[in-house]
Amino acid sequence: MRCVHSALIFIFMNSLLAQFAVNDLAHLRDHESQRSSSYDRSGGNGDYRSLKAGATLTLFDEKGPAEVRHIWITMATGEAYHLKKVVLRMYWDGEREPSVEAPIGDFFGLGLGTYTVYQSALLAVAPEKALNAYFPMPFSRHGAITVTNEGSQEITDFYWNIDWVRLPALSADTAYFHAQYRQCTPCKGWYKGNFYSNNFEEARRDPRWKNTSGDGNYTWLTAQGEGQFVGVTFSVFQNQWGGWNEGDEMIWVEGESEPRIHGTGGEDYFNGAWGFSNLYSFPLVGLTEFHGWEPGSRFSHYRWHLEAPVRFHKSIRATIEDGHANLRSDNLFSVAYWYQTEPHARFPELPPVERRIPKFVPVGGPGQDPAMR
């Protein structure tokens, strides 16, 4: 009986975290249901499109007022790391710079370029290779969603379904969906000594051990304007022995001198504790990939701030340390998700394809220097 009760609680919590709670379903809504998809217009079963190398495919091109409610994408290709090579972009109300720009795998929480199955409130990857997003994406006049194949091979079978609703108007407090990709490969850690068994006695004597300024932190997001930060997907490919997860998250709001939010460590931010040992996939938090603590170890996480989006009126800077006080030199990949009024600040330039591929980088330190073994 207890198992049934727990299952019902989990289902109920998922319902609460959906765009609309179950108790709203009996209320008739003022919208017109629509779908944009790759279905075969001839009536046959060729429900896909080709995406040639170097080409761009438009998945969605509609007038508003409207709101995208769900995106489903899958593709068939033999190209390695195609999740890092296909770039997803979204444009609202005729803007020239995208509000969303990220490798498609990173956008869907697969920041290391391989498929893993998981479920969360806003993103889910289902068998086999089914990418799903449930962020509400409103727009007033026009919305466009594209994918660009920056790989070397044609994707012969690219499928999509985008469920959206046409609305009579947007409310005055509506903000627009944004998602921004960033990476450092590798980050510029300052300590190359022995920190096997988390022995940091030597490092503690370095003045850089106490990081009160946030200098050198890995940046998830910088944004200007008015909005709210709703979450992040974050992947780590380690170059050294040990764990990146002693790094604290620090979030500055409105240009304040001190971080408004200062956490206690990586696994704590992703709502785990005492390091990582098992995969978990909950509505708001998850560890979807984890492969030990050696050089080459891989971690992928997500965290949604649905309980309290981080509100900003002028600016926000969301960051995290790579190891305590940024002493490590790992490869980090992330997508930050937020809503804001337009216009938004221009995004950093997307790194070229070869730099997006996760791979080991010789940076010295534990696991690399024979003297440290």
Q: Can you tell me the distance from the alpha carbon of 187 to that of 185, in angstroms, rounded to the nearest whole number?
A: 6
183 and 162 within one domain? no
Asked whether residue 274 is assigned to any structural domain, the reply reads yes
204 and 170 within one domain? no
Asked whether residue 365 is assigned to any structural domain, the reply reads yes
Q: Please count the other Cβ atoms lying within 10 Å of the Cβ belonging to residue 64.
A: 18
3-class SS of residue 192 = coil
CB-CB contact of 89 with 96 (8 Å) = no
The domain containing residue 240 runs over which residues?
177-372
17/181: higher pLDDT: 181
218 and 309 within one domain? yes
Asked whether residue 349 is assigned to any structural domain, the reply reads yes
Asked whether residue 26 is assigned to any structural domain, the reply reads no
Q: How far is CA 250 from CA 86, 164, 230, 274, in A?
A: 31, 35, 15, 20
User: What pLDDT, on a 0 to 100 scale, did the predictor assign at position 18?
Assistant: 47
- Number of domains forming the structure of the chain: 2
Q: Which residues contact 289 (CB under 8 A, 6 or more apart)?
A: 112, 114, 116, 235, 279, 298, 299, 300
Query: Residue 21 above 80 pLDDT?
Result: no
User: What pLDDT, on a 0 to 100 scale, did the predictor assign at position 106?
Assistant: 98
Q: How far is CA 132 from CA 39, 57, 128, in A?
A: 17, 18, 12
Asked whether residue 1 is assigned to any structural domain, the reply reads no
Identity at 341, one-letter amino acid code: T
pTM of the model: 0.93
222 and 116 within one domain? no
Asked whether residue 25 is assigned to any structural domain, the reply reads no
84 and 164 within one domain? yes
327 and 200 within one domain? yes
144 and 281 within one domain? no
259 and 115 within one domain? no
User: What pLDDT, on a 0 to 100 scale, did the predictor assign at position 19?
Assistant: 57
Q: Can you tell me the distance from the alpha carbon of 233 to that of 305, in angstroms, rounded to the nearest whole number?
A: 12
Question: pLDDT averaged over the chain?
Answer: 92
* Alpha-carbon Rg for the chain in angstroms: 21
183 and 169 within one domain? no
218 and 160 within one domain? no
Query: Residue 167 above 50 pLDDT?
Result: yes
Confidence of residue 370 (pLDDT cuts 50, 70, 90): low
216 and 365 within one domain? yes
Asked whether residue 19 is assigned to any structural domain, the reply reads no
Which CATH number is 156's domain given? 2.60.120.1390
324 and 252 within one domain? yes
| Final residue belonging to a domain, choices 174, 196, 222 | 174
**Angle at Cα 269 formed by Cα 14 and Cα 235, nearest 5°?**
90
188-209: pLDDT as tens digits: 999 988 888 888 999 999 999 9
251-261: pLDDT as tens digits: 999 999 999 99
Query: Residue 372 above 50 pLDDT?
Result: no
| Final residue belonging to a domain, choices 127, 143, 174 | 174
262-285: pLDDT as tens digits: 999 999 999 999 999 899 999 999
Confidence of residue 367 (pLDDT cuts 50, 70, 90): confident
| Final residue belonging to a domain, choices 174, 199, 218 | 174
Asked whether residue 15 is assigned to any structural domain, the reply reads no
